[in-house]
């Protein structure tokens, strides 16, 4: 008896080992590999061994039975092929780290994830809106695999549909998997589920300890919790008898894993639903271009929810032209007159306000007014951001911190100027203008732990905070009925990113944050500050015209041959030495060139927009293809070439369907 073993190393091929006793496919073993002992998964069995190589025996057996369910095993095989990721590494990431049979023998622990009810969560059954009922019918009438795009405007009650659908499947002894972008930012969804299905929920998120993760995983596997809510990696949750998968806010970029294996949890969820013959609901007010395109091609069924619950109006959105504001005030201001006035009114009426500024820190960068010197990170090609609370310049990529100099290191002038504003500055500004107002801030600097989210978001929900300022974190699916004003500052910034998805991201962000306003009895208002108010992204976001935006954006994507009208893979070549990075990028480009066909277009090599991160130089190539299978053919050959030439998997990174091109 012999086994094909996939070692948990960045190698795409498998190796043959001899088995002393029978053991099932999917079990983990320890084997000697290149004079080291490594863990691997048995991915196949065979009765003969290759003749020309020496075959070693398996050193040790880790599992006596496979821990992964057969459909998860198949899902991993799909990920490995689709995302060109070594199968051993994929299988490893599908299990909670450190799990072994002792944990199983120990038996189930009572739940360790805390699920207490918070104030302000209503559990009563509400009569569904006509839109909601229609959507629920579509879900409940689904037989087997059935991908749906639940395209519902903000405040249309998508969570209620998820819960009713989960109930429907629960009554039929079927389980449900709910994927969310980030647990800390979706406490309401979690709370509402927990209140509706007490004792039936497991929650998987990144803040769990290793031990908690294993315990939750075992409870799910034992069938104790038929509903699982979790982030990205919960797509591997060992639920049996799966009825439905929900991917909430399906357009969110956090569903993409930016490390090996580089899978997209949304697309992986669709594949899992297919393998499990389950329904799958992708929910969003601003679907990704890809998912909307799939609904246009009838690959997904689009279910529109066009009205807000209780016939609430969508908010009134206005754009302030910041060029005119500058001309009128004769200076650069953070808050326009219009936004100030609207904010003042809210404070008077004791209603709540959210202000989005998608940059943390105090000032965007430091500039010498005399010679134009800017303060860059030594290790990364980005400007350092000034954080006033700690009086430091910080690199947002590598964490470098240094004291801001009082004189220019280039010309010794004293005229150091703080340019651009961040959330810290915004908070200070609002505080100065409205000393009586109670202000909260939500960004990566203030949010260190899940408890920080609870404190700020909970305080805001209870009305202990009047004005919440923050980065895109405040744009997420929050439901605060007392918010009647949303302000957006520096709305243009994301448009300037060198990424073909810049307009899509901007449109999504504006629509999402606007959707936080007017969710209660009072109508909502939104004030967007922009220097380019005529850009189609703003014009269509103001009117919340998603389909027109999709049409406009599609024309650009089609002309430029970008997704969803082409399949895309990014190749990132890295090296600490700039010349070696460039040389390797040329070598890869030559190889790709030798594989070129009509269905392929190659861009690059070129330095990545962020040319250097943590002292590593980065060069980038993009492969576009009109045919998925042609793209995969070329990627497989590239992978084989990288392994054959021993270039090293960390130096050439293949990213299929990349979401970030920086
Ligand atoms: P979305 O996720 O679509 O933005 P939510 O699911 O957060 O919207 O719902 C918005 C609010 O409307 C929530 O407070 C929810 O409890 C409430 N809601 C949902 N369905 C109904 C309904 N049929 N009638 C009244 N209120 C509802
Ligand atoms: Zn200077
Ligand atoms: Zn840095």
Confidence tier at 292 by pLDDT (50, 70, 90) = very high
Please give the structure tokens belonging to residue 515.
């959707």
Residue 507 has pLDDT above 60, yes or no: yes
Which one of 23-37, 50-64, 116-130, 368-382 scores highest in mean pLDDT? 23-37
Is the CB of 477 within 6 Å of ligand 1? yes
pLDDT of residue 119: 47
Closest CA to 54 of 106, 97, 16: 16
Confidence tier at 495 by pLDDT (50, 70, 90) = confident
Please give the structure tokens belonging to residue 636.
């497989």
pTM: 0.92
pLDDT of residue 183: 81
Q: Which atom of ligand 1 is nearest to the CA of 132?
A: 23
396 Cα–ligand 2 center, Å: 23
The C-alpha atoms of residue 622 and residue 566 are separated, in whole angstroms, by: 12
Q: Whose CA is nearest to atom 17 of ligand 1?
A: 157
572 Cα–ligand 3 center, Å: 19
Query: Does 5 or 358 have the greater pLDDT score?
Result: 5
The C-alpha atoms of residue 550 and residue 292 are separated, in whole angstroms, by: 8
pLDDT of residue 477: 73
Residue 134 CA: distances (Å) to CA of 149, 314, 513: 13, 21, 26
Residue that has been written with the tokens 């920086």 in this structure = 662
Secondary structure letter of residue 374 according to DSSP: B
Secondary-structure breakdown of the chain: helix, strand, coil percentages, each rounded to the nearest 5: 35, 25, 40
Q: Whose CA is nearest to atom 12 of ligand 1?
A: 157
Start-to-end Cα distance in the chain: 48
649 Cα–ligand 3 center, Å: 23
Closest CA to 18 of 47, 52, 51: 47
- Mean pLDDT along residues 512-526: 89
Check: CB of residue 268 under 8 Å from CB of residue 179: no
Closest CA to 122 of 187, 192, 186: 192
Residue 121 has pLDDT above 70, yes or no: no
Q: Is residue 118 classed exposed, middle or buried when 0-12, 13-18 and 19+ CB atoms within 10 A define those classes?
A: middle
Distance of CA 271 to the CA centre of its chain: 18
To test the pocket of ligand 1, the residue of 309, 310, 508, 514 to mutate (highest count of ligand atoms within 8 Å of its CB) is 309
pLDDT of residue 111: 63
Collapse the DSSP code of 285 into the 3-class scheme (helix H, G, I; strand E, B; otherwise coil) and give the result: coil
Residue 116 has pLDDT above 70, yes or no: no
pLDDT in tens, 247-285: 999 999 999 999 999 999 999 999 999 999 999 999 999
Is the CB of 157 within 6 Å of ligand 1? yes
615 Cα–ligand 3 center, Å: 8
pLDDT of residue 425: 93
Closest CA to 230 of 252, 188, 268, 202: 202
pLDDT of residue 112: 52
Confidence tier at 338 by pLDDT (50, 70, 90) = very high
Check: CB of residue 251 under 8 Å from CB of residue 288: yes
To test the pocket of ligand 1, the residue of 151, 159, 314, 513 to mutate (highest count of ligand atoms within 8 Å of its CB) is 159
Query: Does 495 or 507 have the greater pLDDT score?
Result: 507
The C-alpha atoms of residue 220 and residue 277 are separated, in whole angstroms, by: 19
- Mean pLDDT along residues 426-439: 96
Parallel, antiparallel or unpaired: strands 28-33 and 301-305: unpaired
Closest CA to 471 of 411, 525, 410, 512: 512
Check: CB of residue 6 under 8 Å from CB of residue 646: no
Tally Cβ neighbours within 10 Å of residue 349: 11
Residue 95 has pLDDT above 50, yes or no: yes
Parallel, antiparallel or unpaired: strands 279-284 and 60-61: unpaired
Secondary structure letter of residue 376 according to DSSP: B
Measured over all CA atoms, what is the biggest interatomic distance in the chain, rounded to whole angstroms?
84
Check: CB of residue 168 under 8 Å from CB of residue 177: no
Residue 450 has pLDDT above 80, yes or no: no
Which one of 234-243, 439-448, 540-549 scores highest in mean pLDDT? 234-243
Closest CA to 336 of 353, 319, 352: 319
Lowest mean pLDDT among 26-35, 106-115, 534-543: 106-115
User: 599: which residues sit within 8 A by CB, 6+ positions away?
Assistant: 625, 626, 627, 630, 631
Secondary structure letter of residue 661 according to DSSP: -
The C-alpha atoms of residue 308 and residue 523 are separated, in whole angstroms, by: 12
The C-alpha atoms of residue 102 and residue 117 are separated, in whole angstroms, by: 33
pLDDT of residue 195: 93
Residue 114 has pLDDT above 90, yes or no: no
């Amino acid at each position: 008896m012999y086994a094909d073993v996939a070692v948990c190393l960045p190698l795409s091929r498998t190796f043959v080992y001899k088995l002393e006793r029978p053991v099932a496919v999917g079990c983990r073993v320890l084997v000697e590999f290149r004079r080291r002992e490594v863990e691997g998964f048995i991915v196949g069995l065979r009765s003969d061994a290759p003749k020309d190589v020496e075959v070693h025996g398996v050193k040790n057996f880790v599992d006596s039975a496979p821990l992964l369910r057969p459909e998860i095993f198949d899902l991993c095989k799909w990920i490995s092929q689709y995302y060109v990721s070594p199968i051993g590494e994929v299988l490893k990431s599908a299990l909670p780290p450190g799990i072994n049979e002792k944990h199983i023998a120990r038996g189930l622990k009572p739940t360790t994830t805390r699920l207490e009810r918070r104030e302000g969560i209503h559990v009563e059954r509400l009569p569904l809106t006509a839109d909601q009922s229609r959507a629920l019918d579509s879900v409940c009438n689904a037989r087997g695999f059935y991908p749906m795009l639940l395209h519902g405007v903000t405040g249309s009650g998508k969570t209620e549909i998820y819960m009713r659908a989960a109930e429907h499947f629960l009554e039929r002894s079927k389980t449900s998997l709910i994927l969310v972008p980030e647990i800390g930012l979706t406490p309401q969804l979690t709370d509402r589920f927990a209140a509706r299905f007490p004792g039936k929920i497991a929650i998987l998120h990144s803040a769990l300890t290793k031990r908690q993760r294993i315990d939750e995983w075992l409870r799910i596997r034992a069938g104790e919790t038929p509903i699982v809510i979790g982030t990205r990696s919960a797509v591997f949750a060992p639920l049996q008898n799966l009825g439905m998968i929900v991917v909430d806010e399906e357009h969110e970029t956090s569903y993409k894993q930016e490390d090996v294996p580089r899978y997209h949890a949304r697309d992986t969820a669709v594949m899992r639903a297919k393998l499990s013959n389950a329904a799958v609901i992708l929910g969003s007010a601003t679907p990704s271009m890809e998912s909307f395109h799939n609904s246009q091609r009838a690959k997904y069924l689009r279910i529109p929810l066009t009205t807000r619950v209780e016939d609430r109006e969508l908010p009134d959105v206005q754009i302030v032209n910041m060029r005119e504001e500058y001309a009128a005030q004769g200076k650069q201001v953070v808050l326009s007159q219009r936004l100030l006035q609207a904010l003042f009114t809210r404070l008077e009426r004791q209603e709540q306000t959210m202000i989005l500024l998608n940059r943390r820190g105090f000032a965007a960068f430091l500039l010498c007014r005399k010679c134009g010197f800017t303060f860059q990170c030594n290790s990364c090609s980005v400007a350092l951001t000034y954080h006033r609370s700690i009086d430091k310049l910080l690199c947002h990529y590598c964490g470098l911190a240094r004291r801001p100099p009082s004189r220019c290191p280039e010309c010794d002038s004293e005229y150091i100027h703080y340019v651009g504003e961040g959330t810290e500055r915004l908070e200070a500004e609002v505080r100065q203008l409205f000393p009586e107002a109670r202000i909260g801030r939500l960004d990566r600097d203030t949010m260190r732990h899940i408890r920080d989210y609870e404190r700020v978001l909970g305080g805001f929900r209870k009305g202990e905070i009047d004005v919440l300022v923050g980065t895109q974190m405040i744009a997420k699916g929050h439901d605060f009925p007392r918010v009647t004003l949303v302000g957006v500052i520096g709305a243009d910034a994301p448009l300037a990113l060198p990424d073909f998805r810049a307009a899509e991201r901007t449109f999504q962000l504006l629509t999402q944050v606007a959707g936080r306003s007017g969710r209660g009895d009072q109508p909502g208002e939104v004030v967007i500050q922009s220097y380019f108010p005529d850009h189609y992204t703003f014009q269509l976001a103001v009117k919340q015209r998603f389909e027109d935006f999709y049409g406009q954006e599609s024309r650009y994507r089609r002309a430029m041959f970008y997704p969803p009208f082409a399949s895309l893979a990014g190749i990132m070549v890295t090296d600490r030495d700039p010349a070696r990075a460039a040389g390797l990028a040329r070598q890869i480009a030559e190889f790709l060139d030798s594989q070129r066909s009509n269905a392929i277009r190659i861009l690059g090599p070129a330095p990545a927009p962020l040319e250097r991160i943590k002292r590593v130089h980065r060069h980038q190539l993009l492969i576009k293809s009109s045919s998925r299978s042609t793209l995969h053919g070329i990627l497989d050959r590239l992978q084989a070439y990288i392994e054959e030439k021993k270039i090293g998997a960390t130096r050439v990174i293949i990213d299929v369907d990349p979401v970030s091109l920086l």
